[in-house]
Amino acid sequence: MNKTVDAGQPAVTAAPLVPPVVLTGQVSWDTPSPIGQIKQIFGDEPLGFLSLFVSPKADFARIIAEAGTLFPDTDIAACTTAGEIGDDGYEEGQIIALGFPSSGFASTSLLIENIDDLAPLPLIDRVTLERVKLQEHHPEMISGFAFLLVDGLSRAEDGLSATISPALRDMPMFGGSAGDGTDFEDTSVALNGTVAQNAAVLTLVRSRYRTKVFSLDHLVPSDRQMVVTGADPGRRIVKTINAEPAAREYARIVGKDPEQLDRLTFASHPVVVRIGGAHHVRAIQQVNSAGELVFFSAIDEGMVLTVAAPQDMVDHLRSKMLGLSAHQKPSVILGCDCILRRIEAEQRQISRELSDVMSSYHVTGFSTYGEQIGALHVNHTMTGVAIYEEED
């Protein structure tokens, strides 16, 4: 202990410095040694796991190589982003880092390649084995979660999430799909120096701290429905709705000019599908040259889609954050936030207010091309994990 003594004053005992539950840091993508700067921010605290969310402006391979050199004994999972979430909420051009100290966390990470051609049983066996080993080696850590980073252009998130989920048993899973700003051209994930496309990184985490995995969206289903009557599920394309050309029929139902459909339209008039008693968004990415609708997640013929209306995004997020803070405010929230939420916020000119809410509740993470929650791949949501200071 350190003691400070003033003449004529009693000795004052200084409290020992206690490291944060999770270390967070961010640097600009053009910093000469970005990971070196992160290393300085984090200090010498031993890490069990390091997660990096890297702006598409940065040289992703160089960032990953530098991270491997400076954190040689740490599992490092990373991905490119569609924007970052940092100290000031929505950010651009940043490298976001979350370090999980080994004093409070234990983890194991798997690189899953060729996810568009999965062999389900070997993957289930692999995940199960790693989960059991992690639990057996750290019985004192009873809280936990699984964190999935996926190539956002793979179009394979639906099958991957559905395959992994049963092997996790009671370990809740969330995650996000790697992005490329708004370009949709080049997305990557990485694990321990290996950069990959058409791949995913699954990290299983045990913790001595209380954790809560969550998913939220601000959308309310309406009474306007449509049926997918023609589709190409492999490419997530809807050709016809109600036996009419898809884009034209969608525009008619939401009251828009079919020639003026854009990202704001899709963000403001999303469609949802009912699964297991709840509604989940099936977000539209774009209209292709054939007048078909390209979706961010799985779609198939016969699917009934319901148009949803957005609630006030700021009030809704604040309410959900208050809910997560009912017992104790989280020390940090690792969040995967759909790019459509960011686009909607920008178009409605509420980005600053939304960022203020995220900042005040220590939300750190990235904007995605889709989110994972349990066995589902969804859109227009924020999924994440709240991590608290109290031990579980």
pLDDT digits (tens, 9 = 90+) for 359-381: 999 999 999 999 999 999 999 99
Q: How far does Cα 317 stand from its chain's mean position?
A: 16
Separation of alpha carbons 293 and 355, rounded Å: 30
The vertex-287 CA angle with 283 and 291, nearest 5°, equals 130
pLDDT value at position 275?
A: 83
Separation of alpha carbons 341 and 361, rounded Å: 18
pLDDT tens, position by position, 187-243: 999 999 999 999 999 999 999 999 999 999 999 999 999 999 999 999 999 999 999
pLDDT value at position 6?
A: 42
Query: Is the dihedral angle over the CA atoms 139, 207, 97, 203 positive or is it negative?
Result: positive
- Residues in the chain predicted with pLDDT less than 50, given as ranges, are 1-16
pLDDT value at position 22?
A: 97
pLDDT value at position 17?
A: 53
Query: Is the dihedral angle over the CA atoms 53, 22, 340, 348 positive or is it negative?
Result: negative
Per the confidence metrics, is the pTM higher than 0.85?
Answer: yes
In sequence order, what are the beta bridge partners of 89?
86
pLDDT value at position 185?
A: 94
Alpha helices for 20-156 (secondary structure H): 34-42, 60-70, 120-137
pLDDT value at position 12?
A: 41
pLDDT value at position 18?
A: 57
pLDDT value at position 7?
A: 39
